[in-house]
Structure 1
């Protein structure tokens, strides 16, 4: 039995298939009589309906009309949200970062020990919200003073939540973790000598795909391999590292879709992100991407912005099929966060 250090609540240890024991998250409970997950837990929306999602996505284009289905204000200070999973629109689990000391640049074109800024300090969180945006619980995953405190994109495979916790600067270090969504207890899976952000899990092959700073490289990890080291014993080497061939946007949060017949049964994910070009031109978008090669198979720019003026594709993203129609979920604003849920109401008339 494990106990939350902050609340004193007893927590059941998560079942462990890779590591010998689970670690207790430091949990604050806001709704003590509300379960963290619906029962039974829903299947992951992107993977459950991936063929229909891919079919509908591939009918869209720049002229697609989007309908804002709902807006949900999330309670409390959400820090900087980085990743999100939607569980049947009954629960939203959000990876959040709260910074106690922001990073600072070493100066223009100054690189020290392979990176361009000071480490900073902060906390990585997983927060659970209900359908109305009320906080159910908040789990702190990093200790005070930890150099790795930045959680990236997250993915849910129907059993576990997968996340990365990294230094908040490029060319540094990261740890891959697996979280039990019923308890928010977690396991450290392995460490890597580069920043890691987005992550997805392919249950069919039991492989992870992770993205580094700016999603410039993708790494593939075989969870069945004995080559993975526990984080306490040094860095592991991935199964493969590939360069991202596209510079349209930097992917920030991805969701595993499946092995689609549309793409000759290659494993694909849907990723959201943005990039800032010269003269402060920012472009956001969503794409279907091969998990192993990073080749973009279908990409779509999205022009929408939040009520606070942020591009809609900043950080957290999810996708699901609801009543036969694809929905996209975004949580772009820091500290004062609102969930934006969109459906396409008109296919592109000439772009496919």
Structure 2
């Protein structure tokens, strides 16, 4: 192993009889632990009922206060998901695109998709609370066609990710990542683009969201996956009935009392209504039906003019206030931390009066 101001190493990992396609190459910027020695519980799932209660007070008149703005070091490529592990670590999933996809043109569809595969690298990048870069792990080989590391979830032990081709109706790989070592482990292969995953820790069910979050695919870890690279088949696929926004990053929230203890996730996303109009939003979503049980618009934009809900999102409660973490911009990214003002005007309802 070669030591310099940066520490580089490569490794592969396997689990049981599943062959791993993941290649781990880590650039270390700070000689500090990647994650706390004792991994904390995920913020969203450990504050489930409180988050649901505070979310129920949100509306179009909610005042959002920017409590912190942290510029993060280095190229973040296209950040897709974020999890906050402890008070001083942010793990960001990202896709680096070395060969761009190209539309076939004339509405041509080949093998179910509308563009070439392109190529690139899937990343997981670790920052401290001040935005200083700790490590950058590439999880795929050079030239891989699955390189889009989408929205991620953290369950108190592992980070869960889907690394997909960057085109609809393609393929993806469900992985778990050890936050202490950044080692990826392949779990199963999917015959669709999957842009994010949520782990229900109570039922051990995984919900994966495809291109535009139009469909949700469910897999239970009690069921044996097909040996990689064969595709695992799924008995459950649920159509997303909401077209308000396309979910970009989701977190398992829990089984809240307010929703009859049904599995629920919190998701953020955007929708492009025209070349010049984009809207953002955050929703609480029933994991079985994909029906949003509560949703609110988010109108804030980054300093570069991007809706803050464009990609990564995490959530917690601090001093009784609902706090969101957003990182919307590509390459040159800033972490925007917003809190909902508890004394916002009461939401009477919509319409023009």
TM-score higher than 0.5 here? yes
Please tell me whether residue 295 in structure 1 is matched to residue 291 in structure 2.
yes
- The answer for the alignment partner of 2:130 in structure 1 is 132
**After the TM superposition, which residues 63-142 of structure 1 pair with which residues of structure 2 at under 5 Å, given as runs?**
63-142=61-140
Inter-partner Cα distance in structure 1 for 2:85 and 2:114: 38
- The answer for the alignment partner of 2:24 in structure 1 is 25
Displacement of 1:24: 5.8
Inter-partner Cα distance in structure 1 for 2:320 and 2:347: 23
1:207-237 deviation line (CA, Å, top 9, x unaligned) = 10000000000011011112x11322x1011
Q: Which moved more, 1:99-108 or 1:164-173?
A: 99-108
Asked if 1 retains the 8 angstrom alpha-carbon contact of 2:313 and 2:326, the reply is yes
Asked if 1 retains the 8 angstrom alpha-carbon contact of 2:265 and 2:287, the reply is yes
Asked if 2 retains the 8 angstrom alpha-carbon contact of 1:317 and 1:329, the reply is yes
Inter-partner Cα distance in structure 2 for 1:173 and 1:181: 25
Inter-partner Cα distance in structure 1 for 2:259 and 2:98: 44
Asked if 2 retains the 8 angstrom alpha-carbon contact of 1:219 and 1:240, the reply is yes
Q: How many residues align?
A: 346
- The answer for the alignment partner of 1:145 in structure 2 is 143
Inter-partner Cα distance in structure 1 for 2:84 and 2:235: 29
- The answer for the alignment partner of 2:57 in structure 1 is 59
Pairwise CA RMSD? 2.2
Aligned pair in 2 of structure 1 residues 109, 15: CA closer, same or farther (>3 Å)? Answer: closer
**After the TM superposition, which residues 122-201 of structure 1 pair with which residues of structure 2 at under 5 Å, given as runs?**
122-201=120-199
Aligned pair in 2 of structure 1 residues 278, 199: CA closer, same or farther (>3 Å)? Answer: same
Asked if 2 retains the 8 angstrom alpha-carbon contact of 1:192 and 1:236, the reply is yes
Within the candidate set 224, 227, 230, 1:230 is matched to: 227
Inter-partner Cα distance in structure 2 for 1:19 and 1:244: 31
Asked if 2 retains the 8 angstrom alpha-carbon contact of 1:320 and 1:328, the reply is yes
Asked if 2 retains the 8 angstrom alpha-carbon contact of 1:173 and 1:193, the reply is yes
Inter-partner Cα distance in structure 1 for 2:262 and 2:17: 26
Aligned pair in 2 of structure 1 residues 298, 35: CA closer, same or farther (>3 Å)? Answer: same
Inter-partner Cα distance in structure 1 for 2:187 and 2:213: 21
Gaps of 5+ in 1: none
Inter-partner Cα distance in structure 1 for 2:70 and 2:143: 33
Gaps of 5+ in 2: none
| Alignment TM-score, normalising by the size of structure 1 | 0.93
Inter-partner Cα distance in structure 2 for 1:311 and 1:110: 31
Displacement of 1:259: 0.6
Displacement of 1:323: 2.1
| Alignment TM-score, normalising by the size of structure 2 | 0.93
1:155-207 deviation line (CA, Å, top 9, x unaligned) = 00000000000000000111100111110011110011110011110111111
Inter-partner Cα distance in structure 2 for 1:282 and 1:342: 20
- The answer for the alignment partner of 1:349 in structure 2 is 346
2:113 alignment partner, SS class: coil
Aligned pair in 2 of structure 1 residues 281, 159: CA closer, same or farther (>3 Å)? Answer: same
Inter-partner Cα distance in structure 1 for 2:44 and 2:2: 33
Aligned pair in 2 of structure 1 residues 56, 237: CA closer, same or farther (>3 Å)? Answer: same
Please tell me whether residue 325 in structure 1 is matched to residue 321 in structure 2.
yes
Aligned pair in 2 of structure 1 residues 335, 8: CA closer, same or farther (>3 Å)? Answer: closer
Inter-partner Cα distance in structure 1 for 2:20 and 2:97: 29
